[in-house]
Structure 1
Amino acid sequence: MQDPEFEPPVNPLPPIVTLTFLAIAGVEAGLSLGEAGVIGGPGAVGWRLGLIRDFGFSGQIFDWMMANGQWPLAEVMRAFTYPFIHLGFTHALFAVVLLLALGKLVAEAMGPVTFAVIFVLAGAGGAGFYALLLDDPSWLVGAYPSVYGLIGGYSFVMWRQLTGTGAQQYRAFTLIAFLMGIQLVWGVFFEVGTQWVAELIGFFLGFGLCFVMAPGEWARIVDAMRRR
Structure 2
Amino acid sequence: MQTDHNAAPLNPLPVVIWLLALPLIAMEAVLNLAAAGFVGGATGVGWRQDAVQRFAFSPDFMREMIANSYYPPEHLLRLVSYPLVHLNFTHALFVVVFLLALGKMVGEVFRPWAVLVVFFGATLAGALTYTALPFIHIPLIGGYPPVYGLIGAFTFLLWTNLADTGSSQYRAFSLIGMLMAIQLLFGLLFGGGWDWVAELAGFFVGFFLSFVVSPGGWARVKEKIRER
Under a length normalisation based on structure 2, what TM-score does the superposition of the two structures give?
A: 0.92
Alpha-carbon distance in 2 for matches of 1:24, 1:60: 25
1:136 Cα deviation after fit: 2.3
Partner of 2:117: 117
- 2:175 maps to amino acid: L
Tell me the residue number matched to 2:170.
170
Q: Percent identity?
A: 47
Aligned-pair CA distance for 1:221: 7.4
Give distance in 1, aligned partners of 2:20 and 2:26.
Answer: 10
- CA drift of 1:76 comes to 0.7
Change (3 A) 1:94 1:195: same
How far residue 51 of structure 1 moved from its aligned partner, in angstroms, is: 1.3
1:83-134 Cα offsets, whole Å, 9 max, x none, are 1110010000000000000011111111211111111110111111111124
C-alpha distance in structure 2 between counterparts of 1:210 and 1:28, whole Å: 30
Q: CA deviation at 1:9?
A: 2.5
CA deviation vs aligned residue, 1:10-31 (integer Å, no higher than 9, x gap): 1100111112111100000000
* Aligned residue in 1 for 2:54: 54
Report what 1:30 is aligned to: 30
Specify the code of the residue in structure 2 equivalent to 1:36: A
1:135-183 residue CA offsets vs partner (Å, 9 max, x unmatched)? 3221111000000000000000000000111001111111100100001
Q: What's the counterpart of residue 39 of structure 1?
A: 39
Q: How many residues align?
A: 221
Residue 157 of structure 1 is matched in structure 2 by 157
Cα distance in 2 between the residues matched to 1:223 and 1:190: 46
CA RMSD of aligned residues (A): 1.7
* Structure-2 separation of matches of 1:219 and 1:42: 58
What is the rounded CA distance, in whole Å, between the counterparts of 2:164 and 2:40 in structure 1? 55
What displacement does 1:220 show? 4.2
Deviation at 1:36, TM superposition (A): 1.1
- Structure 1 window deviating more from structure 2 (214-223 vs 29-38): it is 214-223
CA distance in 2, matches of 1:49, 1:128: 23
Q: Runs in 1 of length 4+ with deviation above 3 angstroms?
A: 218-224
Cross-structure match for 1:101: 101
Partner of 1:188: 188
User: Following TM superposition, by how much is the alpha carbon of 1:222 offset from its aligned partner in structure 2, in angstroms?
Assistant: 9.0
- 2:209 matched residue in structure 1: 209
Task: For 1:8 and 1:185, locate their aligned partners in 2 and report how far apart those are by CA, in whole Å.
Answer: 39
Tell me whether 94-103 or 184-193 shows the greater mean CA deviation: 184-193
Change (3 A) 1:180 1:221: closer
What runs of 5+ residues in structure 2 fail to find an aligned partner? none
Structure 2 CA distance, aligned partners of 1:46 and 1:76? 24
Q: What is the Cα deviation at residue 185 of structure 1?
A: 1.0
Equivalent-residue separation in structure 1 for 2:220 and 2:164 (angstroms): 14
Q: Which residue of 2 aligns with 1:69?
A: 69
- TM-score normalised over the length of structure 1: 0.92
Gap runs ≥5 in structure 1: none
| C-alpha spacing 1:168/1:219, structure 2 compared with 1 (3 Å) | closer
Change (3 A) 1:204 1:94: same
